Structure 1
């Protein structure tokens, strides 16, 4: 991986490693694929997080159906994010050397997958697009800029478990919004890992806001992790099987 600017490693309280790679756009797509393959070879999960990479949105690797779907997006940003999501799956998840466009299958709970390939999950918000790849199907990721969020307190009743709500309401005012963002992204990551998507039982899940990296047993065994960036605009949460020993996260964007 010749284009990595920096690599750092941390060890969580649960024993999982987190390797963070800060990379320039030159890492797409060769270095990113090499890092993904090496992570999976070690039994780890790989996360690619793109910021401001609209120029790399290539619809030539999309099916005709997906190109038509992309063309229906009215906002250029939404169109780029959709195409970049398909690009991430094409270049990171599929077996090497396959040039034909991806054709996705849908699992029993509506979660897309590629037959005979690792599991993956996608998320995008604003100029951010993220993809997690793992050999374990129980994996989900959520990236949020919360650009349209007004007063988070209006959502507490619909979103939070009673324990979470007390934690947020008892926090100092400047930390309440941070805790709400943590709560929201953790829940989205969980529900994407389970394949359920957003449902009406958000209040029934306690994501243990007081813990840095909790391991849950409900709605299924999952470790929750947050991936921090040097940009304050995005909150990123990851949910994966607690047995996964580590995560390799590659952030790709223009140098600040």
Structure 2
């Protein structure tokens, strides 16, 4: 597996000096966000990623060249990427107060975290996101264990989709991962995404309670 640098912060780390690090697209989104908690998460995520990438590239954080392009509409709200061929990919995630950034060189990377205390209707979420085999594994567990088990599976799926840059547009039930207690791996790919044999998954836990996952993909084999 390629080496991945993962860094964590808190939305409470936001301060008045950070907006100066944002580019015009980021600043416009930041200023247009009304909810203070969402504003702070976005600000900290942008600032943390810029500081890490700036150190790697040897430039000030505010000068890190980024681009965003939605693969569907071309708008400036897709997965952020470096606008220069430096060989680094990165992924930003946040849930509740937790903000994370993963950076990898020579491969695509996706990072996801879910706050353990988040309100969740496990039954409804499972119907939307889990394959029949994943659902069977979930409901074989005692009721008290189902929420953390679902969040573990969810972080794996979202990390993979973020590494591929497709987000939640992909059919979640067709992207199948291993059972929560098993070593993390992708078992089945949606036809829409093709097959990505070079993908690896790693489970993480933040502060001992919040499930997270990082995915790295180095190759693609599209369907014939």
Place the TM-score, normalised by the shorter chain, in its bin.
Answer: 0.7 to 0.9
1:215: Cα distance to partner? 5.4
172-181 or 62-71, which moves further after superposition? 62-71
Counterpart residue number, 1:236: 212
Counterpart residue number, 1:58: 18
CA distance in 2, matches of 1:216, 1:240: 15
* Structure 1 residue 74 corresponds to structure 2 residue 40: no
Alignment map for 1:9-24 (pairs within 5 Å): none
Check conservation: 1:223, 1:241, Cα contact below 8 A: yes
Point out the structure with the larger helix share. 2
1:104: Cα distance to partner? 2.0
1:132 and 1:186, CA in 2 relative to 1: closer, same or farther beyond 3 A? same
Check conservation: 2:163, 2:217, Cα contact below 8 A: no
Q: TM-score, normalised by structure 1?
A: 0.70
1:91: Cα distance to partner? 1.0
Check conservation: 1:216, 1:223, Cα contact below 8 A: no
SS of corresponding position for 2:34:
coil
Which structure would you say has the larger RCO, counting Cα contacts within 8 Å and 6 or more residues apart? 1
* Structure 1 residue 168 corresponds to structure 2 residue 138: yes
CA distance in 2, matches of 1:52, 1:111: 20
CA distance in 1, matches of 2:40, 2:69: 25
Check conservation: 1:61, 1:102, Cα contact below 8 A: no
**Structure 1 spans left out of the alignment, 5+ residues:** 1-15, 17-42, 244-256
CA distance in 2, matches of 1:242, 1:66: 28
CA distance in 2, matches of 1:207, 1:99: 36
Q: TM-score, normalised by structure 2?
A: 0.79
Among candidates 45, 58, 61, match of residue 85 of structure 1: 45
1:208: Cα distance to partner? 0.8
